[in-house]
């Protein structure tokens, strides 16, 4: 209920933040909204000695669309994404995820970078980033590096982000034919299954599909076999669509919990992937 004692700093530049990170090492935590971190601190599941608030650093927010590419600052709030007409047009999959995420309080404070860096196995955006084949921009003392979303996510609450780095932004190619649908936990709203789909169409048939799934395994994953099977499928052909989406969680160690056992969750994964494909086609 009461966190352990900690220091709070609000740097005004990334360099200041890096200095603080270097000084405190793994005892420091970055605050980027705090809707996961603060509750964890209250439960003493996290006990950082130094909390570095990124909210004072300029240049980390905003949505830019240029030459068919969408770039988003890590400190952009969910509510901003959820209200963005540009995003609705160029990447409905992310727009829908932002609207389906959390509640108004969470959306008004939480940020896309914070959610992704946290590595929660139920992170809605994780599936979206995989489906968008997004690139993450990570800044560190020695400069910035770029990493594919697919290699960034490693495991449950585990990413490739080192304790001295800051996720500063994500970017991806515009994806007008895309959608995100989720089966929300009835109390928490976290996805029991979240499915993100980005399509390229050739007439009324799918030429290429990218499918990201979250909430099912210990981290989000691409449903590779489904992506292959979807190529050439006409989504209006229900039987073909369901056939292509079958086994979407194959090979994944599916989580089991009271709200959804592993068998049920796997079955729902197929249903939601096919619903996401249909939603993306309606785009």
Partner 1 sequence: MNLVGAPIDRVDGRRKITGTARYAAETPLPGLTYAVMVESTIPAGTIAAVDAAAATRASGVIAVLTYENAPKVEQHKVAGMTDRNLPLLQDRIVRYDRQPVAVVVADTFERATDAASLVRIRYDTSVPALSLAHGSGYHPEHSHGDEPSVYERGNVDAAFAGADVKIDRTYTTPVEHHNPMEPHATVATWDGDVLTVYDATQGVFGTRSRLAVAFGIPPANVRVVCPFVGGGFGSKGSAWAHTVLAAMAARAVKRPVKLVLARPQMFGSVGYRPATIQRVTLGAKRDGTLVSTLHEVRSQTSIFDEFVEPSAELTKMLYAVPNVRTINTVVPLNAATPTFMRAPGESSGSFALESAMDELAYAVGLDPLEVRLRNHADSDPSKQLPFSSKSLRECYSVGAERFGWSRRVPRARSMRDGGLLVGMGVASATYPTNRSAASALVRLSSDGTAHVFAGTQDLGTGAYTVFSQVAAEELGIPVSSVRFELGDTNFPMGPVSGGSQTTASVGNAVSVAARSARDRAIGLALGDPQSSLHGHDADAIDVRDGRIFLRDRPDVGDTYAAILGRHPQGEIEERGDARPGDEKTAFSMHAFGAQFAEVRVDPELGTVRVVKMVGAFASGRILNAKTARSQYLGGMVWGLSMALHEITRTDARSGRIMNANLADYLVPVNKDVPSDFEAYIVPEDDPNVNPLGVKGIGEIGIVGAAAAIANAVYHATGTRVRDLPIQPEKLV
Q: Which residues form the interface with partner 1 (CB under 8 A)?
A: 1-2, 183, 185-188, 258-261, 263-264, 267-268, 271
Nearer to partner 1, 56 or 243 (CB): 243
Least distance to partner 1, CB of residue 124, Å: 17
Least distance to partner 1, CB of residue 244, Å: 16
Buried b (16+ CB within 10 A) or exposed e, 97-114: bbbbbbeeebbebbbbbb
Nearer to partner 1, 77 or 275 (CB): 275
Nearer to partner 1, 157 or 264 (CB): 264
Distance CA 245, CA 257 (A): 23
Least distance to partner 1, CB of residue 91, Å: 26
Nearer to partner 1, 95 or 183 (CB): 183
- Backbone phi, then psi, for 263, in 5-degree steps? -65, -45
Least distance to partner 1, CB of residue 13, Å: 37
Nearer to partner 1, 167 or 245 (CB): 245
Contact 199, 206 (CB under 8 A): yes
Least distance to partner 1, CB of residue 2, Å: 6
Nearer to partner 1, 145 or 282 (CB): 282
Distance CA 267, CA 283 (A): 25
Distance CA 243, CA 100 (A): 27
Q: Which of 158, 70, 146, 59 is nearest to 117 (CA)?
A: 158
* First and final C-alpha spacing in the chain: 45
Least distance to partner 1, CB of residue 274, Å: 9
Degrees, nearest 5: CA angle 108-38-154: 90
Cα Rg of the chain, angstroms: 19
């Amino acid at each position: 209920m009461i966190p352990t004692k900690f220091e709070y700093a609000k740097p005004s530049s990334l360099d200041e933040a890096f200095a603080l990170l270097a000084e405190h090492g793994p005892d420091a935590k970055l605050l980027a909204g705090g809707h996961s971190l603060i509750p964890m601190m209250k439960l003493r599941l996290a006990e950082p000695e130094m909390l570095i608030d990124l909210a004072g650093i300029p240049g980390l927010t905003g949505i830019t669309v240029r030459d068919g590419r969408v770039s988003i600052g890590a400190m952009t709030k969910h509510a901003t994404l959820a209200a963005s007409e540009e995003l609705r047009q160029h990447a409905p999959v992310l727009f829908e995820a932002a609207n389906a995420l959390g509640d108004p309080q969470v959306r008004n404070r939480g940020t896309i970078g914070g959610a992704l860096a946290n590595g929660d196995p139920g992170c809605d955006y994780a599936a979206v980033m995989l489906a968008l084949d997004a690139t993450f921009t990570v800044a560190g003392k020695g400069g910035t590096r770029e990493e594919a979303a697919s290699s960034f996510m490693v495991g449950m609450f585990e990413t490739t982000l080192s304790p001295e780095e800051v996720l500063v932004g994500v970017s991806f190619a515009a994806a007008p034919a895309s959608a995100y649908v989720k089966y929300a936990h009835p109390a928490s709203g976290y996805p029991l299954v979240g499915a993100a789909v980005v399509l390229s169409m050739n007439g009324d048939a799918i030429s290429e599909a990218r499918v990201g799934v979250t909430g099912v395994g210990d981290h989000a994953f691409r449903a590779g076999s489904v992506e292959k099977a979807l190529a050439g499928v006409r989504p209006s052909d229900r039987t073909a669509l369901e056939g292509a989406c079958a086994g979407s969680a194959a090979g994944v160690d599916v989580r089991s919990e009271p709200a959804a056992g592993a068998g049920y969750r796997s079955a729902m994964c197929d249903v939601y992937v096919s619903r996401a494909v249909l939603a993306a086609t309606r785009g």
